[in-house]
Chains A and B, each alone.
Chain A
């Protein structure tokens, strides 16, 4: 008797091999059989001809805090994600002394944009060491977690405030090595560091004060465990990214460890950037180094409001002059009819239709609810105004607190990005799930992989796309028990419709502690998600299953 049989589906096993009609049987949280399964089960899931695939693995997230009150990392799980890697960018919630909590909260808030209540009322802070954090985390998980430990917090533990001021002494480096070893023994899957991130005051995070020798010493400990080094390079500058690739390669070769850097973007303004980075990665892999670039699937959107000056208007001199005035003067100018008439005239005879018509009112702020999601072109038509005038007046009517979104303004060329994502040395990731909450949605990138790069562009087959975000990710990270539909492995499974899986529309949600706002996307085309053999999400609903584990 099996516990569950997922039957009547197309088995796409994560290997990249063509899918085939079949079933998957589960016993004691593990996959027991794959193929034409006979026998009985306590629960039958009828896949109805949809794809049965391994659960997706998201290797770059910041769900560290959210997981303490939401063990499903919503909405990640409903998008088919069964394992998340938090603790990226040098920041994790452990090891952390009580005295350093406030300092770390500032750093987390800078990245995650979470309300203060998330840290004060949403969970009980019971731990200092990594084992204690793991224990707190595992109490209520319905998704699997493969946590990194952050270089910045390791520094903070050993050096206190000096972690953000100076290089470490030899004795401090030895103490950091011991601490890292303890974290890896307690379940960390690697170390994260950052060359980019800053705290809430704009000061570089502690990991950035480390000499290369310190990172080298920590990687020696990673080498004892064969574990991952993740870093955030200066992704906005190609030459620096290339220098980081070389540093990572040296560490990978010297200590026999995998390394990954995220993010890697494509930009039409500097089209050679990503190509040069990938070419360097190819050279380093040919030497035997493992340096995995993480590339996200989703394009980058620009958003702005008239509350602050934005470079979005940099081609409109009058707008720039007016919007960079102090708020009082700016409001006065925007209320002055002749000034506004000139601003609108600057857009030309179409009143801004070409430049601004496709902007979308985002919501989550003072924007009237009935306008959220509408294009400025639609809003302007309804008001009987030119788009530029509608943008100004709608903003004025709402205290300037109306955000407009310019969608797909960067990393947007499907024709260019598709082949890069399909490249065997490019790791699909960098979703940043659980971060940038009030700026944009970091969920649904896997759905977008299928809708945009499989269905629309044909950049890869559906089986290749599944392999990219399952078995290949598990192999890169050394998650031996995950990523394939294979007897004996963990039963992390997603059932989805290959013709409709997508990331859903971005919408504001007020579901953070303290009624905090974030942007989310609801899954489309995901039927059922099983985590360690238990149904965690089905037919649009989360279940009460809590089978998630810290997986290593």
Chain B
């Protein structure tokens, strides 16, 4: 049985900033827009985390918007 496609994510490297992560995961996007997009897709990190935006090595960081699902 093959796996259905799921939303693409990466995990942050040690001490990686959101800008560095955006460059790594979305190299074809303008940086500012990519960072904004990543924040909007990962509010669990950029809003709910204390302090907000603290990325951890164990985090799931989505690098695309939610997928439409049946």
Contact = CB atoms under 8 A, between A and B. Distances in A.
23 contacts: A166-B14, A166-B15, A167-B57, A195-B59, A198-B50, A202-B50, A203-B50, A209-B56, A210-B57, A211-B14, A211-B58, A212-B58, A234-B44, A239-B6, A239-B66, A240-B60, A242-B6, A243-B6, A272-B69, A276-B69, A280-B6, A284-B3, A287-B3
B60 A244 contact: yes
A272 B13 CA distance: 32
Given A198-B50, A246-B6, A167 B14 contact: yes
B54 to A, nearest CB: 8
A210 B44 contact: no
Contacts of A272: 69
B3 A209 contact: no
A286 to B, nearest CB: 4
The 8 closest A-B pairs by CB, nearest first: A286-B1, A211-B57, A167-B14, A202-B50, A243-B60, A208-B56, A208-B58, A239-B7
A242 B50 contact: no
Contacts of B46: none
A237 B42 CA distance: 10
Contact of A239 (B4, B49, B62): B62
Interface residues of B, number: 22
B70 to A, nearest CB: 9
A215 interface: yes
Nearest to A169: B14
B22 to A, nearest CB: 18
B11 interface: yes
Nearest to B42: A240
A192 interface: no
Contacts of A243: 6-7, 9, 60
B58 A283 contact: no
Interface string A204-248: 100111111011000000000000000000101101101110100
Interface string A350-388: 000000000000000000000000000000000000000
Interface of B: 1, 3-4, 6-7, 9, 11, 13-15, 44, 49-50, 54, 56-60, 62, 66, 69
B44 A209 contact: no
Interface in A244-262: 244, 246
Given A198-B50, A208-B58, A234-B60, 11 more contacts: A167-B15, A167-B57, A203-B50, A214-B57, A239-B62, A240-B44, A240-B60, A243-B6, A280-B4, A280-B6, A287-B3
A236 B4 CA distance: 22
A283 B11 contact: no
A237 B56 contact: no
A204 B52 CA distance: 12
B50 A195 contact: no
A241 B58 CA distance: 13
A243 B9 CA distance: 8
B1 A287 contact: yes
Contacts of A242: 6-7
B4 A283 contact: yes
Contacts of A167: 14-15, 57
Contacts of A204: 49, 54, 56
